[in-house]
Structure 1
Amino acid sequence: MNRPVVVGVDGSPSSLTAAEHAARAAVARSRPLHLVHGYLHPLGYGVPLNPYDLGVPAPTAESHRMLEQVAAELTDRHPTLRVEVRQVPGGAGVTLVQESRRADLVVVGSRGVGGFAGLLLGSVSSQVAQHGHCPVLVVRPAEEPIPVDGPVLVGVDGSEPASLAVRLAADEAVRRGTDLVLVHVRPPERAGAVPQEAAESASAGQAESAELLAGAAAQVRADHPVLTVVERPVRATSPEQALIEASGEAALVVVGSRGRGGFAGLLLGSVSQALVQHAHCPVLVAHPHEPAG
């Protein structure tokens, strides 16, 4: 099954930046690129103008021209790219979540048409990042340049979602020809602790951090012997803030859908949500692929 890279395109600057990221990802993966526009009827969510008319509203010629123009510009910049354009009746978020069941990767811009400037993540981006059935790449606004240098960064905490994130991050680092940085964040020592207890706690924390990083690095090196892997233990009050700050030097940060201690009912943990919202570079949310049916 040659799963495509799928990107939502609505003509907004954010979606055009997402389309460029998606084109690069499709070329790197040797996958086709699908430009998808989920359209709504002017009076509602796919509801026909006449309530007695049960037909599906037709796609618009204007949107088709927009998609064809984007496709032409992408193939001009990436001659080996295979592009398909499609309009789907329905909300953009629901459409892309459905598309993710058959995709290798879904790419979304951080804001779409009508997105408020103060919101770092639009409702569509948030919906797809939360509910995607394959890895989801959230890219930054168009006014921020596409980063090409810098390592791929991923957090390590020993959880299964983090292990998937590490595997995807390693694959990305190999494709990009860059380093992989494994980060483990542990909390600072408790204030007012007895010196001996504080020293023992610090030693145990350092040992746990080193063990988690070494285990993750060993697996990566076994799969990718030539990849440069950097192990970085960090002490910080807030794991979210530490990883957000670290993302400033990265070309990509990869996050698991949930971390250690995450509730099963939560599709994105607090650290993942914070990075999707505030990281200084694109964020890849490591959802496992839906089984091919």
Structure 2
Amino acid sequence: MKVLVATDGSKYGRWAIEWVAQLPLAVKPVVRVLHVIDVAGLRAPFMVQPVIAGTERYIQQEIKRMEDSAKSAKKESSALLSSLGLSGTVTIDRGSVAPTIVRHAGRGVGMLAVGSRGLDALDRFMLGSVSTDVIHHAACSVLVVKEAARPLKQIVLAIDGSPASDKAVRFLVRNVAPQINGPEEEPVNVVVVHAMPFLKYPEVREAGKAIVQRYADKLAKAGFQIQEAPKLGKPAEEILKVAKQHKADLIVTGAKGLGAIGRALLGSVSTRVVQHSACSVLVVR
């Protein structure tokens, strides 16, 4: 799988690279690390005439600082790839951060890894907002990294029976090894959670249980250890509760759900989960 990692030199960018190395992927990834320099972002609307305003000298100094920082980040990322045993390259590009990342993520990339936060506003990266943009616009699956990498033992899979959920399950089956460090180790545990709204009809609860069991059977057949968690309540809240209860290392969800008619709205749910989860989140496309 081709994996793109967006970094800005912050710890979140380093964590994103380390997460790619830590994931028990079935096939060793080919990694490209991307650092974006957003020069245009330095010129706020009131600086359309920087020379007249007398600020151009300072802007040029800031551009030089950003370029030096990018070179340093490139060197550090290259060294990190090597130390982690990952094959790949490091690229520096210019442009608006989120659109540039999305453009690079469309070139045959299977997964994009990005930190949930970056450096401060003065560094013009603001990965907090960038991560939100890319989960909405990237053509590939997006891993939003919240914390330092650790062995992936506990996954919470949020499903609603939609085609997006089918894609999430296929991603796990095809790309994630069900055992850590070989078949002699414990299987990766997957908690399959599906939240249905509070309705008085027992058929609704039974339908939710049937959906959970259907996906659980597919994952169990692939070699994962499974726990089923059909829930009643608001989807995002229930997903986050299950993740906290099971001390999840990663939440996996589809990018979109059944929509208003299906009462799932995983498109908005995935955004809320990314924003409020304590652990990293993989949004699958």
Scaled by the length of structure 2, the TM-score of the pair is: 0.77
**How far apart are 1:8 and its partner, in Å?**
0.9
Instruction: Give ranges in structure 2 of 5+ residues lacking alignment.
Output: 52-62, 181-186
Percent of residue pairs bearing the same amino acid type: 29
| 2:67 is aligned with 1:68 | no
In structure 2, the CA distance between the partners of 1:182 and 1:139, relative to structure 1 (3 Å rule), is same
Which of 231, 235, 240 does residue 234 from structure 1 map onto? 231
Deviations 1:199-233 (A, max 9, x none): xx12x1232112212222233344x1x32222221
**1:182-201 pair list within 5 angstroms:** 182-189=192-199, 198=200, 201=201
**Which structure carries more helix by proportion?**
2
In structure 2, the CA distance between the partners of 1:29 and 1:115, relative to structure 1 (3 Å rule), is farther
**How far apart are 1:159 and its partner, in Å?**
0.7
Which of 243, 258, 261 does residue 260 from structure 1 map onto? 258
Matched letter for residue 174 of structure 1: P
8 A Cα contact 2:192 2:228, kept in partner: yes
**1:129-168 pair list within 5 angstroms:** 129-140=135-146, 144-148=147-151, 150-168=153-171
Matched letter for residue 146 of structure 1: A
* Structure-1 separation of matches of 2:177 and 2:231: 21
How many residues get paired?
252
Which of 241, 247, 269 does residue 245 from structure 1 map onto? 241
**How far apart are 1:275 and its partner, in Å?**
0.6
Structure 1: 4+ residue segments shifted above 6 A: none
* Structure-2 separation of matches of 1:275 and 1:173: 24
Aligned position for 1:273: 271
**How far apart are 1:106 and its partner, in Å?**
0.5
Aligned position for 1:178: 188
Instruction: Give ranges in structure 1 of 5+ residues lacking alignment.
Output: 51-56, 190-197, 288-293
Aligned position for 2:15: 17
SS in 1 for 2:273: helix
8 A Cα contact 2:116 2:144, kept in partner: yes
8 A Cα contact 2:26 2:176, kept in partner: no
SS in 2 for 1:122: helix
Scaled by the length of structure 1, the TM-score of the pair is: 0.75
